[in-house]
Amino acid sequence: MRLCGIETEYGIYVEGKEAKDLINESMAMVRAYPGPHGKPWDYKGEDPRRDQRGFRAERLTQNAQEALYEKQAPSPPMEEARSDRVLQNGARLYNDHGHPEYSTPECRALIDLVTHDRAGERIVLECARAYEAQTGRAVSIYKNNTDYNGASYGTHENYLVSRDLPWETLAAGIMPFFVTRQIYAGAGKVGVESEKGNAEIAAYQLSQRADFFTEEQSVDTLARRPILNTRDEPHANPAHWRRFHVICGDCNLCETSTALKVGTADLVLSLLEEGWSPGIAVATPVEAIQTVSRDPSLKWIVPLADGRTIPAVDLQRVYLAAARERLAGRDDETDWIINEWEAILDGLESDPRALADRLDWVAKRNLLETYGEAEALTWADPILQSLDLEYHNVDPDAGLYYGLEALGEVRRLTTEDAIEAARTTPPTDTRAALRGFAATRFSEHLFSLRWNRVTFKNGSDTRAVDLNPFAEGDPRPLIAQLDALESPADFVRLLEAGDVTREDSESA
């Protein structure tokens, strides 16, 4: 698998606090993290207005509700507001507009990414418990994407993609895939809402995020959200690589949903890099992503630009068939993704309810329907929306998903021991191990950190080491030598002398 990562903004409820207070409460929660970490984060190399289409946007659109809260409770300077922590496992933990956000370390194996995504749930909950101990205020943490009052917060995916793949080709090829991926990657949701106001209670839908997209492409993420985010911040050698920043996906608790969400996208990107094209264009993607999500019939019919229509399952099969033809046998991981993808699509056609052990939207719907039937409730009853939220509670003693997991009713891909280890141990084959080591072993000498740079300062001597060469190389020979290092200077010398970049990376 290519280098990948997941960023998750967690919803929070703090006893006795209003929405306008949550920026400061989220900052305090992140700072309560009790484990070893490094800081500060260096924002100088970031430019969220630089666009993949070859220009720089004049401005970013801000969510009106969040702007009001920030005006009522002005935020401190960037470094203090973000409250960044770089963790021992190479991940980044910070505050993002009133939400604790956990960005996994870069992963090269799908099982590593699923495991580190789950570790993020435990780490953010650990912050909440430390905050409770400090303040005496009860906190609930939700791995979801909406507050049901018109605000949405993201679960973003990041994929390292060859710069040789033109953006226009990437966008055209992947748009139909993203419009329909929610049939197995959606988190499920009671009701329909938008940034214009409170939820309009309606039937159950597939996706928590679909309601909030109004554009096909743009650099924005907070308002006027696009299906395809065009931000061009590679966090790697920009001459060779793009970072494809995906904002249209839901959060997931079911491990199969997470694995398929990322694994299928990785295969589609590989197909597009090889020059393959689906030969399909959706007529109106923004309308289609919402229509598919809200379709109570579960037929999920998608209008195409040429006037035809196609069921979402069949559209996904176009990508699946190409992956099986061109990529099968590449490695065991690829074959697992292809086979599971096909099994899920078959199940969606024959009996979606039977997929409750693997897909979040099905698991949640089955729970809510069972309760609603027992209590003679309709989808318009607010108690079902409350239970929807509790599905995403990451407290193992309170969360409905965790209840299913404890009963053995959902399939596991990782283990509790692996998740516990991932809280402090980075992937063993990516540059995250280098960053996590520097951030925690030599934290007193840190001047700043980025995804692709570590800077140390000792008196007047400032030394920076570039992590770009290790973005798509194999740093394991260097990682094996880390424990023997005694100083930041040793670390810098080791990385400057190490050349682990693959030949194909240099030519990409």
Write out the catalytic residue numbers.
Answer: 96
Joined tokens for residue 443: 């934290």
- Which one, of 345, 414, 50, lies nearest residue 218 by Cα? 50
**Residue carrying the six token digits 């798509």:** 472
- Report how far Cα 451 is from the mean position of its chain's Cα atoms: 16
3-state secondary structure 270-283: HHHHCCCCCCCCEC
Alpha carbons 466 and 475: distance in angstroms, whole number: 13
Phi, psi of 445 (to 5 degrees): -105, 0
Alpha carbons 177 and 292: distance in angstroms, whole number: 12
| DSSP tag of 151 | -
State the amino acid at position 77 in one-letter form: P
| DSSP tag of 377 | -
Query: Which residue(s) pair with 160 in the sheet?
Result: 243
Rounded to a whole number, what is the distance in angstroms from the first to the last CA of the chain?
Answer: 16
Query: Which run of H or of E encompasses 371?
Result: helix 360-374
Alpha carbons 22 and 14: distance in angstroms, whole number: 8
3-state secondary structure 414-460: CCHHHHHHHCCCCCCCCCHHHHHHHHHHCHHHEEEEECCEEEEEECC
**Residue carrying the six token digits 């299913």:** 404
Q: β-pairing, 225-229 with 213-218?
A: parallel
Which distant-in-sequence residues (6+ apart) come within 8 Å of 83 by Cβ?
27, 30, 31, 94, 95
Phi, psi of 327 (to 5 degrees): -120, -15
Joined tokens for residue 429: 């084959």
Alpha carbons 25 and 124: distance in angstroms, whole number: 13
Say how many C-beta atoms besides its own lie within 10 A of residue 65's C-beta.
16
Alpha carbons 408 and 450: distance in angstroms, whole number: 40
**Residue carrying the six token digits 């399939």:** 411
Peptide bond before residue 40 is cis, with ω within 30 degrees of 0: yes
Alpha carbons 156 and 444: distance in angstroms, whole number: 31
Cα distances from 215 to residues 228, 229, 286, 384, 487, in angstroms, run 8, 10, 7, 30, 49
Q: SS3 for 118? A: helix
